[in-house]
Amino acid sequence: MKIAVVGCGIAGSCVSILLNRQGHEVHLLEQAPALRPIGAGVMLQPLGQCVLERMGLLGQVIANAEPIYELHAIQRSGRTMIKMPFAAAGVGMHAYGVHRGDIFEVLLKDVRECQIPIELNVTVTQTTVSNNQVAIECSDGRRIDGFDRVIFANGSKCGLRSKSGFRKREKEYEYAAIWCSLESTQVRNQLLQIVEGSTRLMGILPMGNGRASLFWGLACRDRERCMQQPIAKWKEELRRFYPAASETIESIQDWSCATYGTYRRASVTPVYDSHHVFLGDAAHANSPHLGQGLNFAMLDAYRFAKALQDLGDWQKAGQRFVKEQRDNSRYYRFVTALLTPFFQSDGRWRGIVRDCTLPLLHRTPIIRGQMALTMTGLKSGFLGGPLKWDE
């Protein structure tokens, strides 16, 4: 088939590579004027590693990454709230701290080696189906005809969820974070989070090669006030909050290394029809508090491409894709929505509840194992164990 993939991000590039290897004629459409590595540090969870391994790309991605063996969350006072090793999941794997741009560079290199055409500056506004062919209409008035199918993989802000009979749900969170990529080796082999109540959150994720990503939770209403002040004043605020991170904070040079990323919860129903499918954040976006967005984007790409390869029929592939992703997608959406307000929201009581319950939960053996498995991204559902890749 001739397939248009809208969005040249993680999900879009992954599915393009996989479908190209199956012999489909894939065309990537990207609204940005240029392709460049963007974003900050991400957790490449065991889930994402499994997908990249099956694509033959894992070694390239983790070559310069930082192994992450545990999540360590502490209160501002220094008291440990949770210290969760990946080993407690019992899957024999750990995470990696990596810059999102490093993953994208590896995927883009493979896209180009596959000679998949990429058209930039294309903002898709809608699609129309006629005679079993899909035409794509663009914001500049262009019409691109002749596709058999279209895949939407253009992220959490995808504006096409309500088109062609699909039903969307969207919610903007009132809190998000400033992300900085910087030079630092102060934190090694763990994701460190420092919290105070539910309104103050700092995190440091090492990314390998002497790099780290620092994030600072911030209400959306305070973004302009914070990012218009001198960088020295903001750095002083960070130092007052957690003096032990002074070495990392000092490496922040100016506001050019910082970006403000908003959080969004969004979904679309159904995720496919006879000519379209939504993948990754375009299908099911969540806040990043479980660190699974990028990993589930790659899983979606792998699952749908594998279903299409095995069944040879778009409709049947869509049906199997929905069945395979239903339980673990619902589980992670529920857990993420449940946890997010306890880490970033107004209201003192949420922080108190979290600080009282998490230390108890992660010390309870059965619960501890399930929490660790959830952290890997491999939990298959509310009652299930690890995902079974051979089914």
Q: Delineate the domains of the chain, giving CATH numbers in brackets.
A: 2-64+98-172+265-342 (3.50.50.60)
Name the pairing type of β-strands 70-75 and 124-130.
unpaired
Give me the mean pLDDT over the 75-80 stretch. 94
> Averaged over 15-30, what is the pLDDT?
98
Q: How far apart are CA 122 and CA 101, in angstroms?
A: 21
Q: How confident is the model at residue 38 (pLDDT cuts 50, 70, 90)?
A: confident
Per-residue confidence (pLDDT) for residue 36, from 0 to 100: 81
Report the candidate in 20, 3, 41, 73 with the shortest Cα–Cα distance to residue 294.
41
Helix 348-361, helix 314-343: angle, nearest 10: 110
pLDDT exceeds 50 at position 87 = yes
Mean pLDDT of 89-109: 96
> What rounded mean pLDDT belongs to the chain?
95
Q: How far is residue 106's CA from residue 98's CA, in Å, rounded to a whole number? A: 12
Rg for the chain, CA atoms, rounded: 21
In this predicted structure, what is the pLDDT of residue 254? Answer: 94
Q: Supply the pLDDT for residue 164.
A: 63
- Counting residues of the chain whose pLDDT is more than 90, the rounded percentage is 91
Residue 390 has pLDDT above 60, yes or no: no
Model confidence over 307-362: pLDDT tens digits? 999 999 999 999 999 999 999 999 999 999 999 999 999 988 999 999 999 999 98
pLDDT in tens, 124-181: 999 999 999 999 999 999 999 999 999 999 999 898 888 767 899 999 999 999 999 9
**379: how many CB neighbours lie within 10 A of its CB?**
24
pLDDT tens figures, 212-260: 999 999 999 999 999 999 999 999 999 999 999 999 999 999 999 999 9
| pLDDT over 70 (residue 389) | no
* Residue 136: per-residue pLDDT: 96
Average pLDDT over residues 30-39: 86
The amino acid at residue 64 is N
Question: Which pLDDT score is estimated for 391?
Answer: 46
Task: Please report where in the chains the tokens 């998000």 appear, as a residue.
Answer: 176
**What does the pLDDT read at residue 344?**
95
User: According to the model, what pLDDT value does residue 39 have?
Assistant: 76
The answer to whether 68 and 208 are in contact (CB under 8 A) is no
Mean pLDDT for the stretch of residues 98-110? 96
Q: How confident is the model at residue 292 (pLDDT cuts 50, 70, 90)?
A: very high
Q: How large a percentage of the chain has pLDDT more than 70? A: 99
